[in-house]
Amino acid sequence: MKHQNPGCGGGHDDPAQTLQQALANISAEIHPVEGFECVATRDALDRVLYAPVHSTVNVPAHSNSAMDGYALLGAGLPAEGERAFRVIGTAFAGHPFAGQVGDGECVRIMTGAPVPEGADTVVMQERVRREDDHAHIGSGHRPGDNVRMAGEDIKAGAVALEPGLLLRPAHLGLIASLGIGEVKVRRRPRVAFFSTGDELASIGEPLGPGQIYDSNRYTLFGMLQRLGVEVVDLGVVRDTREDLEQAFQLAASQADAIVTSGGVSVGEADFVTETLDKIGEVGFWTVAIKPGRPIAFGRVQGALFFGLPGNPVSVMVTFYQLVQPALRILAGIAAPEAPALVTAVLESRLKKKPGRREFQRGVLQMDADGTCKVSPAGRQGSGILRSMAEANCFIVLPEDYGNVEAGAEVTVQPFAGLC
């Protein structure tokens, strides 16, 4: 880890890293957690695949019809005019036709039914004129039409799913289609989190003079939960060196990663970075984003450490932009998806100074004609959690942007349920 001593000039006024640089630094530092468990296929939803899933069968298992129609040998189809084929039986899904289809014969076949011996083509029923026990078929069909070949989706023995995949419903279905009932998934990362601040009261405690309720532990809980990690809530820690050191040790002994809020700026009661420097390693601690800086990133006895700012909006922005991608790597996701970005028309003017990448809170809506529009969600101060609660997206304003006028196209990052 690139060491930066906050006491020796690595401080708040250092030229900050861009978000891109910070993310590159973080991802160079992080390795997936070790260990796996075997779970029932349904319990593998939202878990990360640990070992490849090999197919033991062909999918589909047998060549079958993609249509309701008539199965026959394609070579016998007429090049012009019409030919009559004698209907010798019926094949349903789950009830194959047992006999052999000869020249000039066909079998009435339903979608999903195995294509009978001697046939290789299905003519859809809309293209067939049926008269008693004969099917009259014209030209314009090709051998092999409307047949799904055995092993066309997945061949027996092939790798059906690669390790590192975050399993979605489609993957569960695919695993089930192979007849596999148990999956090896990577252990979930354990993430310990706590709030720092003498002013913080927990729910259930009366508010003393100058106190506020600790909200960061709730937003962090929700975001960690959404990411599917195991959470360890270590409560509120007082602004003393001793309490912080103890909390750091406890967290590092229990978790793969630690997320804290507050105490990372340069105030007189901000001891988080100092403590990290004393008992762990500091990677960097300024990122050119707003809201959000400074942030402490480092390591305490093998656990990753993210010291987020105390302001409630800053916590959520820095978690979304920095901690989320880091935890996805820690979870073993091989190719984390790029954030879904939307281009939208800005409804009212936004103020901004060039320098930092800003994440303003917005409400994204779609017009009846499909145009995406975004308007700022109330007052944008980094302490105003209400702006997050009312918003459904970040309006992303790049470093070099100044003010942005109404009507301009801007990039928007939907919360997608995480915030």
The residue from 116, 262, 283, 291 that contacts Mg ion (CB under 5 A) is 262
- Residue 377, CA distances (Å) to 73, 154, 216, 288, 389 in order: 65, 48, 20, 22, 9
Residue 176 · residue 144 · CB < 8 Å? no
Contacted by 214, from ligand AMP, Mg ion, none: CB < 5 to 8 Å by type: ligand AMP
6 binds Mg ion (CB under 5 A): no
116 bridge partner residues: none
Relative to beta strand 105-109, strand 69-72 is antiparallel
Decide: is 274 part of the binding site for ligand AMP (CB under 6 A).
no
C-alpha pair distances (Å), 259 with each of 7, 127, 222, 346: 22, 65, 13, 34
Report d(CA 98, CA 91) in Å as an integer.
Answer: 9
Report what 261 binds from ligand AMP, Mg ion, none; CB cut-off 5-8 Å by kind. Answer: ligand AMP
Strands 134-138 and 82-91, sheet pairing = antiparallel
Cα atoms found within 13 Å of the Cα of residue 378, Cβ hemisphere only: 13
Considering only the stretches 27-35, 108-116, 150-158, 259-267, report the one whose residues sit in contact with ligand AMP under the rule CB under 6 A: 259-267
Q: Are 85 and 104 in contact (CB under 8 A)?
A: yes
Q: In 178-298, where does DSSP find H-type helix?
A: 216-226, 241-254, 272-279
Q: Among Mg ion, ligand AMP, none, what binds residue 216 when CB lies within 5 to 8 Å by partner kind? A: ligand AMP
Q: How far apart are CA 62 and CA 352, in angstroms?
A: 62
Where does this chain touch ligand AMP (CB under 6 A) — which range of 38-46, 78-86, 186-194, 260-268?
Answer: 260-268
| 116 alpha carbon, distance to own chain's centre | 43
Among 197, 309, 312, 325, binds Mg ion (CB under 5 A): 197
Identity (one letter) of the amino acid at 273?
T
Residue list 105-144, contact with ligand AMP (CB under 6 A): none
Q: Other CB atoms closer than 10 Å to residue 155's CB: what's the count?
A: 13
- Find the part of the chain contacting ligand AMP (CB under 6 A) among 7-15, 195-203, 241-249, 356-364: 195-203
Q: Which is nearer to ligand AMP, 151 or 310 (CB)?
A: 310
By a kind-dependent CB cut-off of 5 to 8 A, residue 309 interacts, out of Mg ion, ligand AMP, none, with ligand AMP
311 binds, among Mg ion, ligand AMP, none (CB under 5 to 8 A by kind): ligand AMP
Mask 202-231, x = binds ligand AMP (CB under 6 A)?
Answer: ----------x-xxx---------------
Indicate whether 261 belongs to the interface with ligand AMP (CB under 6 A): yes
We find the least distance from the C-beta atom of residue 314 to ligand AMP, in angstroms, to be 8
Which residues from 300-329 bind ligand AMP, rule CB under 6 A? Answer: 309-312
Residue number closest to ligand AMP, CB atom: 310
Under rule CB under 5 A, residue 312 binds Mg ion: no
Using rule CB under 5 A, residue 298 touches Mg ion: no
Long-range Cβ contacts of 204-212 (<8 Å, 24+ apart): none
* Among 195, 321, 375, 380, contact with ligand AMP (rule: CB under 6 A): 195
Enclosing H/E stretch for 82: strand 82-91
Beta strands in 242-386 (DSSP E): 257-261, 281-284, 289-290, 296-300, 303-308, 342-346, 357-366, 372-376
Which entry of ligand AMP, Mg ion, none binds 294, CB below 5 to 8 A by partner kind?
none
Binding residues (CB under 5 A) for Mg ion: these are 197, 262-263, 310
Residues that bind ligand AMP (CB under 6 A): 195, 197, 199-200, 212, 214-216, 261-263, 265, 267, 309-312, 383
